[in-house]
Amino acid sequence: MSNNIIHFVCRSLLLLGILLGSYSSVKGAQPPSDFKIRAFYLDCRTQVMTVSAIKNFASDLSRKGINTLLIEYEATFPFQKHATLCNQLAFSRSEVKEIINHCSSLGIDVIPLQNCFGHSEYILRHDRYAHLREDTKEVSQVCPLKIEDAKKVFREIFQEVAEMHPSPYFHIGADETYLLGSCAQCSKAEKSLLFVNYIKAMCEVVKELGKKPIIWADIILMHPEAVQKLPKDLIYVDWNYGWAPDRFGKLDNLLKLGVKMWGATALRSAPDNVYLTQWMKHFENLATFLPFARSHGYEGIIETSWSTSGTYGFHYDNGWEIISMQPVRQVYPMSGFQILIDAYCQAANSNEALNPQDFILSYAQQRYGLSNKEAQTFLCYFSLPQELVRKGKDTKGTDIAEVIKSCKDMKTKFDKLSPRQHGSEFEHYRLMLDLRINYLCYKEIEFIYNSSAYDITQAEKLAQRLYPIMTEAGKLDKRFMDMNKDYLKPGQTNEINTLRTEKMKELYQALQRQSKTRS
């Protein structure tokens, strides 16, 4: 095991201890209890699985003790009255029924998540709904003072979604409403009242449909003085992806009121990307937060899995008319995360805290048939530090050359592993490491290009260095498409590849132009 990985494992264990200590400082701990709701969140915003893949996924979850699927459709729901919202990846009504019927046959409840406040870009981008915007240019949020107009729109949207989901629950989002108080009228009002009054109105609509409303808890944690103004039967989801419990606000302020609380961890979250996965952060999240949620009487637990950041870049025309929008980042599909899916299933169904190192070693042998020695290499793979890289260093200050060397050393060892079973699944781990190395090699060239020492005389040589990296990127594109063609709906693998290599290709074209200009 290299010194870098030993250091990383030790640092991870220290962080785990710190987090455990911070969790224990929150009052109200009780004896561990079982989660009534053991859920998995399915993100259909930017990466949309095929119906067959979703059904297979649900069957696998059911065998492993998961009883709920939380689906965020956004523009992939087959709206009829509000068909303006549907994108090219939208399911048909028969497909949604097929998914829900299959889940019902397994004893899995399908809860829809329909945003109505923040994260509403896919709605507010359209002129039909522009009157609800908090801001003309930043279209992520509904103005909370436009309650009556919003109720009219969302009553219809909620009804369309609710009619297809027999679940007693209905999640209305309400997280990350960072534009609260930003418009001229809202700036005159108290932020907590803006939030509470709007959420109360949306909850009323949900209850009219015979459903129990659910919201994310981050914003109300910032305004605990307003909790008692919200419906008593409202369910709050405390989402924690690896930080201390009071990140958004004093959690005790909610717990002491006896509110209904569920928890949420993350399988994929920032800064994860197609070429970066912070594996140990996610394992440690399961190890620390599930015991905390269990001991504090949380009735449910959700494993979220975010395919994007939830923020978007826009192509505008005059007057901030939106031509198109695309996610700020995309993450490797869930096809590559079976180990974390299974770690969550184990942690959600056991009163014992997950031990990440023990789980990974055991998983290597039981799932893939690796030897004890090979299992150690498998553990090293997940312990390899992965950080974003800018200006020639990663976010921890490590030079990019050293980061590349660590990854290539790991690849040499990992490529020697020979899984005896689930080989196709195992290949995703290899591909993810290869994608990271390709990304890092490109970033090394980019750093040189952006340095003060660069001038046009270096263009040809730099282009020659970049060419084999681009050639390798093309091979990786094909592997990625072949391995995920039946997992994601048509066209998505190509789109992910395009976004991943776009900057690389632009740099190569610039270097070629400069080489020709000089000659």
Residue 25 belongs to some domain of the structure: no
Q: Are residues 404 and 502 in the same domain?
A: yes
Q: Residue 275 maps to which CATH number?
A: 3.20.20.80
Q: Is residue 374 part of a domain?
A: no
d(CA 488, CA 418): 27
Residues 345 and 412 in one domain: no
Neighbouring-strand partners of residue 315: 324
The pTM assigned to this predicted structure is 0.94
pLDDT of 17 reads 54
Q: Is residue 361 part of a domain?
A: no
Same domain membership, residue 395 and residue 327: no
Specify the pLDDT at position 19.
53
pLDDT beneath 70, residues of the chain: 1-33, 519
Evaluate whether residue 341 is within a structural domain: yes
Chosen domain end from 349, 365, 396: 349
β-pairing, 300-304 with 312-316? unpaired
State the total domains in the chain: 2
For the CA atoms of 134, 135, 137, 138, the dihedral, rounded to the nearest 10 degrees, stands at -60
Say whether both 327 and 401 belong to one domain.
no
Q: Amino acid identity of 170?
A: F
Are 395 and 272 in a shared domain? no
User: CA-CA distance, 435 to 122, in Å (whole number)?
Assistant: 30
In a shared domain, residues 78 and 164: yes
DSSP 8-state code for residue 225:
G
Is residue 238 assigned to a domain? yes
Judge contact between 79 and 86, C-beta under 8 A. yes
Residue 499 lies in a domain: yes
Which residue stretches of 261-323 are H helix? Answer: 279-295
d(CA 378, CA 364): 7
Structural domain of 283: 37-349
Is 368 a member of any domain? no
Crossing angle of helices 191-208/147-163, nearest 10°? 40
Quick: pLDDT tens for 242-285: 999 999 999 999 999 999 999 999 999 999 999 999 999 999 99
**Do residues 304 and 409 both lie within one domain?**
no
Distance of CA 186 to the CA centre of its chain: 30
Whether residues 149 and 258 share a domain: the answer is yes
Same domain, 343 and 270: yes
Are residue 341 and residue 411 in the same domain, yes or no?
no
Using the 3D structure, point to which of 322, 349, 376 is the last residue of a domain.
349
Same domain, 284 and 345: yes
Residue 367 lies in a domain: no
Q: In terms of domains, do 276 and 390 share one?
A: no
Which pLDDT score, from 0 to 100, does residue 400 have? 98
